[in-house]
Amino acid sequence: MTTEKATFGAGCFWGVEATFRATRGVTNATVGYAGGTTDNPTYEDVCSHATGHAEVVQVEFDPAVVSYQQLLEVFWSNHNPTTLNRQGPDVGDQYRSAIFYHTPEQQAAAEESKASQDRSGRFKQPIVTQIQPAPTFYPAEDYHQRYLEKRGLSHCAV
C-alpha cells in the first residue's frame, strides 16, 4: 500500500484528529504544529502566539481508498472556515483554518475546492482558509496524540 500525506488546520486539533481517524482510508493522523517560525515548538510556545504555528493534523491516507478531494470535503464539513483565527470558543492564530499542500496536485485541488465552497453559498461569509505549501511539521507532545480517544470522548466539549 502506498500512502500520501495531507495537512489540515481546523481549530482545536483533538476533534480534527478524531474526525480524520474515523474516515475510511485514513491510515494515521498525528496532531502537531505547522506554519510558524520556531523549530520544535511546544504547546505552550504555540499558545503564546509568538511562534505563528497553527494546530494541525497530518493525515496519512491510502489514495486507493479515499481521495484527497474526499479529505477536503471532511475538512470543509468539520469546522467554520469563515472565522479568522477562531473556531467556536477557541480564539488565536493557532486555531486558523489552513490547508498545507504537499504536491502541486493537492494545491490545485485545494484551491478549486475552496473556490467551489465559496461559490456554493454553503457559508454566509467568505472563506478565510489559508492554502500554503506544507512547511515542517512538528508532532505535538504525546499527551495530545489521540487525546479524545484516551478520554473516551468522540469530540471536543464546547
Beta bridge partners of 132: 100
For the question of residue 12 being annotated catalytic, the response is yes
Q: 10: buried, middle or exposed (CB in 10 Å: 19+, 13-18, 0-12)?
A: buried
Helix (H, G, I), strand (E, B) or coil at 91: strand
Burial of 132: CB neighbours in 10 Å, binned 0-12, 13-18, 19+: middle
Task: State residue 42 phi and psi, 5-degree precision.
Answer: -95, 170
Catalytic residue among 6, 10, 12, 57: 12
- Where in the chain does DSSP place strands (E)? 4-10, 26-34, 54-61, 86-87, 90-91, 97-101, 130-133, 138-139
Give me the active site residues, please.
12
